[in-house]
Structure 1
């Protein structure tokens, strides 16, 4: 690949609450960046492998080593050996052995830094403009690893009351990571996902705006069947043969990441 920028920019898409459409957001943000002409690496750090399946690589999820799990657990190996080519982006797929690897990384030396080192090693061989990390719906080792590797977090959340507690927990975890690793993890945006035209959604959108006070943008993604159909066809909405008004929103997110990182 030929990079169009001098510095690779990294973004983790993270929230420990399940069911918020985190993987859909990750894939479409990556697709939006690719659509704007960027070379994108997508790293699926979720042991469940939803993004791996959603990008059409379900078969690799069950393959034997080498895979992401073995590279992280052993602390050696080359990500370049497992990168897959998707029509929109390059992909580091997840693997079923990630469940075991995550447990091993808890006590491994520099376990939470191994993903960062592995990606840095890949970037010495290949040029990418952006690396997007899809994370598990938990605040365990792999989410910590992605936040440390990225240094930036894009937060997907539902426009409902349960999101307030989930955001508090995420921010507390980020504070802990920053303190324990002497680093900074920057919130770069909130994606209110599956927004419905009802009173609760409106109240939550107001709450998002008040809470973040303009410090980071809040993007509104409405529930659209075209996004699901794109997923079923293993592509982002930008490569899907059906258009959607949500393309503009994801393009806005990509433009924001271009400008801010």
Structure 2
């Protein structure tokens, strides 16, 4: 049964007890708690949701836009709210795999998407027990072979979609998030076509805005491909949400970029921005933690706002504000 992670201070308020009493109960073994980075949470079981499984691909061909960290952090935010989340690393760089504490050199080819691409096999069983209850289909550097294999096969970019939706465990998850390579190549295309839509991080810079235009064009092509095999309506909005990243409102350039993103709302909904704070993101990467666990309250609140915006776009009836944070240890 999925679990929601409730910060100590909120759980104490719900129970009508002082936080100090709750901490004493935890120390005495009278209350189960889990620690993620600098924060403590109380895990509470929640009922299985009746929503259909939704698949989204984190997608942009611009490197350094924060795509992989967004996959990690959005996945953790969703899992913390009690959603069952599977992350799929479709990038041979395997950063998502490494940032979740799995050594890519320990990952066999049969544990990656290469099993589907190379041998038309079923997807491997996901790795379980990761931070926050996340599950993962990992990657390794050999996944790069897929870039050569996919074009050699008829409808080579569709096997992940068909296989994924046919897996027995597919309906176990509320959300499946795919981290695609920072390119427009065959592997990125396969990751995109496997999804119900794209979540696009957009660096608030001239480079980021230029990359967004390319994503919009390729998204139109993806819709045409999926419509040709009747997987989607040709009128489907495939870019589902834009997430401004590396935002610094103190600079003129970023304020101008934010204005452009607001105009881009006619393409897709725009989430609240994520600030440019390189030190906490490096700490999260080094410690194999989501950004919410490193103690930067501003980024924690921003990521929760992005998560809320995401849920509103995908499950409007289920959107609700989450706890702000746990208690800093």
1:189 to 228, 238, 241: 241
- Between stretches 3-12 and 100-109, larger displacement belongs to 3-12
Secondary structure at the counterpart of residue 245 of structure 2: strand
**CA distance in 1 between partners of 2:50 and 2:206 (Å):** 40
100-109 vs 64-73, greater mean Cα deviation:
64-73
Aligned-residue offset at 1:62? 5.0
TM-score under structure 1 length normalisation: 0.90
Q: Equivalent residue for 1:246?
A: 299
Identify the residue that residue 133 of structure 1 maps to in structure 2: 178
Residues 107 and 138 of structure 2 are in contact (CA less than 8 Å); yes or no, is this contact kept in structure 1?
A: no
**1:255 and 2:308 correspond:** yes
- Whether the aligned pair in 2 keeps the contact of 1:28 and 1:236 (CA below 8 Å) is yes
Where does structure 2 lack aligned partners over 5 or more consecutive residues? 3-47, 315-329
Q: What is the root-mean-square deviation of aligned Cα atoms in Å?
A: 2.1
Counterpart for residue 96 of structure 2: 51
Match of 1:85 in 2: 129
Instruction: Evaluate the alpha carbon distance shift between residue 187 and residue 67 of structure 1 in structure 2; reply closer, same or farther with a 3 A threshold.
Output: closer
8 Å CA contact retained: 1:28, 1:237? yes
Contact 2:122 2:167 in 1 (8 A): no
TM-score after normalising by structure 2: 0.73
Residues 193-232 of structure 1 correspond to what in structure 2 (within 5 A)?
193-196=245-248, 197-213=250-266, 215-224=268-277, 225-232=279-286
Are the equivalent residues in 2 in contact too, given 1:209–1:218 (CA < 8 A)? no
**Greater gyration radius:** 2
Query: For residues 65-76 of structure 1, what are the structure 2 equivalents within 5 Å?
Result: 65-76=110-121
In the TM superposition, residue 215 of structure 1 has moved relative to its aligned partner by: 4.7
Matched residues, number: 259
Q: Find 2:163's aligned residue among 112, 118, 121.
A: 118
Aligned to 2:140: 95
Counterpart Cα distance in 2 of 1:143 and 1:109: 17
Cα shift at 1:236? 1.0
Aligned to 1:165: 210
SS of the residue aligned with 1:65? helix
Contact kept? 1:15, 1:155, Cα under 8 Å: yes
CA distance in 2, matches of 1:39, 1:162: 34
